[in-house]
Structure 1
Amino acid sequence: MAWRMPHEGDPHERTWMAFPAEGPTLGDDPAEHERFYEAWSAVANAVAEFEPVTMLVDPSRTDDARRLLSSAIEIVHTPVDEFWFRDHGPTFVVDDERPGVLGAVDWVFNGWGAPEWAQWDKAAAHARFTAELTGAELISSLLVNEGGGIHVDGEGTVLLTETVQLDPRRNRFADRARVEAELARTIGATRAVWLPRGLTRDYDEFGTNGHVDIVATIATPGRVLLHTQQNPDHPDFEVSRALRGLLGQQTDAAGRRFEIIDLPAPDALRDREGFVDYSYVNHLLVNGGIIACGFGEERADARAREILEAAYPGRRAVTLDARQIFAGGGGIHCITQQQPAVAR
């Protein structure tokens, strides 16, 4: 077997999500819960304009899901506690030696390092459950990892951060060599590019401790889209500048030095909790489109759409207000997971 995680821009069979259930990241009151449901559903409905969507829904949330989701979206009932599907669901892979075979990597999920507030017993079963629904071969892993902690070019390169896979709350005895060996086995990564950290807000209570999918992504092999904070009053000004310097010296699996495309942050610096991590990097590629995060800033949102459409020629970008999702600890990419199309 030669498992390989395709690039997100390769054709999809569908996108998978989980509908929010009760939990600390949902907000403090019923009104905030409703805003969260609406923002989540807006993402699903936008994706469904481009490709099929399947939503895992806890039976207790069926009425909300049916009320807010497009009739085009397939609803599958299963117990749900955690609902950031990119992170607890499977990572889909293909086998180039066996055309038509789909694989699903079942990472160990412990709620982003087992914080006291996290609940993940039900979510930890979603990778296996989804693999059964798709007919994918299950690839079990002992690595504590989340889908938002990796980005690939589909040709052997993986971006990741030292503060995620090497986090002692996740993988107490891991080192780079062990992580890289497991990523080679499960997703076909032959070249790991380690970033030292993620964005500042991502280290708060409800953060992931540095997921790469809010910092940088590989648009096409050899070309990286990088979150760029341009305001020196924000702590991520220094973070993004340091990451740009590091990535500019790195090469991919084919030996190419990365071309870096700056993706400027919006103007907002703070919300009621502190410095924001609003990032246009946290977008989702779908068949023929880009589902982009928006932050209520017409000029900045439009600039991001232009950069994204130029980075992904032939795709139409759709901007959705992602501020409510970011208030819960992530963005559009974090709540979705693509299933690659394979020949049948």
Structure 2
Amino acid sequence: MTTPADHGFSMPAEWLPHERTWMAWPTEGYTLGNDPAEAYRAWSQVANTIARYEPLTMVVDPGAAASARTWLAPAVTQVERPLDDAWMRDIGPTFLTDGRGNLAAVDWIFNGWGAQSWASWSKDAEIAESVAELAEARRFASRMVNEGGGIHVDGEGTVLVTETVQLDPGRNPGWTREQVEAELRGFLGVRKVIWLPRGLTRDYGEFGTRGHVDIVAAFVKPGVVVVHSQPDPAHPDHEVCRENAAMLRAATDARGRRLEVVELLGPTTLEEDGEPVDYSYINHYLANGLALLCGFGDPRDEAAAEVFAKLLPERKIEFVDARPLFARGGGIHCITQQQPRV
């Protein structure tokens, strides 16, 4: 079996120009929760903001078309496909380019974040293929269970992952590090895999992903990675974050560069309903000319904005209140998926 890398394809960095953004509209279950309007407001604010900067297509379940029409701006293109859930980063394809004007897409196996008991995924498992077809991208089917939130690339040969996602027995039972790395090299076109041990504590709760990296660490430019920092020793993520930052500082990328690590302090809010929160500014999204940040109505929101403005001076910094997203298990990055411009 040939891989995308065999044909010269690789995953570009998120900060490179996009053709469009893809999202999925909330349909049912815990994502809607007890307050559907709250979910619609959160998803539509993200979509309507991004649509001011680049084209955006929203995949909508036929049964949810009326709500999508009510909440989404006219600039948002809507296409109907059956959906279970609304986390396009995870259910959608990972787009690739070959530098010669061609677009491809990785269709990972999706199994409800490790076959979790509450999840339904028969419809979502087909979304990557549908989106690849709509984007007119060449589809490559991986044999590995993976989600887009479980990987973060620098576009120059390096990918960040966590052990608890890639080696999760509910996702890839029996797989070794070597097998995972081989699949990532073949399907992302990377040469270096940087492993972090785990994600944030709340992400291992009932509706968590078991450690997605895109809430922990993310490349923002070649050689530069932002990493979540929890300064309060009383929070269970305090030691997790110290270990992750130390490992990243000791790491080199695919080009042999020592990484520049920028720590982003988490919000001052430490818990919600008696549970530790995983509120994180790492889970941002870079669209054309835009850095869209998770806002938490917190004193540290503006400090995070200042860090991003310094790192990405060419981009407008905007916030969307991400608390309704995090209450449902994710953030802004989790509900968006970029299609690079070829």
Per the normalisation by structure 2, the TM-score is 0.97
In structure 1, the residue matched to 2:258 is 257
Q: 1: CA distance between counterparts of 2:83 and 2:206?
A: 22
Q: 2: CA distance between counterparts of 1:13 and 1:70?
A: 19
In structure 2, the residue matched to 1:57 is 60
Q: 1: CA distance between counterparts of 2:88 and 2:324?
A: 17
Q: 2: CA distance between counterparts of 1:273 and 1:214?
A: 21
In structure 1, the residue matched to 2:306 is 306
In structure 2, the residue matched to 1:36 is 39
Q: 1:11 deviation in Å?
A: 0.1
In structure 2, the residue matched to 1:244 is 245
Equivalent pair of 2:96/2:188 in contact (CA under 8 Å): yes
Residue 321 of structure 1 aligns to which amino acid in structure 2?
A: D
Matches within 5 A, 1:143-222: 143-222=144-223
| Alignment equivalent of 1:13, drawn from 15, 19, 24 | 19
Q: 2: CA distance between counterparts of 1:318 and 1:196?
A: 31
Matches within 5 A, 1:95-110: 95-96=98-99, 99-110=100-111
Is the aligned partner of 1:334 residue 2:342? no
Residue 20 of structure 1 aligns to which amino acid in structure 2?
A: P
Q: 1:321 deviation in Å?
A: 0.4
Q: 1: CA distance between counterparts of 2:312 and 2:210?
A: 28
Q: 1: CA distance between counterparts of 2:31 and 2:23?
A: 16
Unaligned runs of 5+ residues in structure 1 are none
Q: 2: CA distance between counterparts of 1:2 and 1:177?
A: 22
Per the normalisation by structure 1, the TM-score is 0.96
Equivalent pair of 2:9/2:188 in contact (CA under 8 Å): yes
Q: 2: CA distance between counterparts of 1:100 and 1:294?
A: 36
Query: Is the partner of 1:240 in helix, strand or coil?
Result: helix
Is the aligned partner of 1:91 residue 2:94? yes
Query: Is the partner of 2:31 in helix, strand or coil?
Result: helix
Residue 109 of structure 1 aligns to which amino acid in structure 2?
A: F
Q: 1:273 deviation in Å?
A: 5.0
Q: Structure 1, residues 9-66: CA drift from partner, whole Å, max 9, x if none? A: 0000000000001012321x2xx11101111110000101110100000111111101
Equivalent pair of 1:80/1:123 in contact (CA under 8 Å): yes
Matches within 5 A, 1:224-303: 224-272=225-273, 274-297=275-298, 299-303=299-303
Q: 2: CA distance between counterparts of 1:67 and 1:274?
A: 34
Equivalent pair of 1:3/1:185 in contact (CA under 8 Å): no
Equivalent pair of 2:31/2:39 in contact (CA under 8 Å): no
Residue 241 of structure 1 aligns to which amino acid in structure 2?
A: R
Residue 22 of structure 2 aligns to which amino acid in structure 1?
A: W
Equivalent pair of 1:184/1:190 in contact (CA under 8 Å): yes
Q: Structure 1, residues 291-320: CA drift from partner, whole Å, max 9, x if none? A: 1000011x3111111111211220111011
Q: 1:2 deviation in Å?
A: 1.6
Query: Is the partner of 1:70 in helix, strand or coil?
Result: coil
In structure 1, the residue matched to 2:8 is 2
Percent same amino acid at aligned positions?
A: 55
Q: 1: CA distance between counterparts of 2:172 and 2:238?
A: 29
Q: 1:341 deviation in Å?
A: 0.2
Task: Give the number of aligned pairs.
Answer: 336
Equivalent pair of 1:180/1:189 in contact (CA under 8 Å): no
In structure 2, the residue matched to 1:48 is 51
Is the aligned partner of 1:26 residue 2:24? no
Question: What's the RMSD between the two structures over aligned residues?
Answer: 0.8
Query: Is the partner of 2:114 in helix, strand or coil?
Result: coil
Q: 1:203 deviation in Å?
A: 0.5
Q: 1: CA distance between counterparts of 2:31 and 2:79?
A: 22
Q: Structure 1, residues 321-340: CA drift from partner, whole Å, max 9, x if none? A: 00000000000000000000
Q: 1:221 deviation in Å?
A: 1.4
Q: 1: CA distance between counterparts of 2:9 and 2:101?
A: 12
Query: Is the partner of 1:3 in helix, strand or coil?
Result: coil
In structure 2, the residue matched to 1:80 is 83
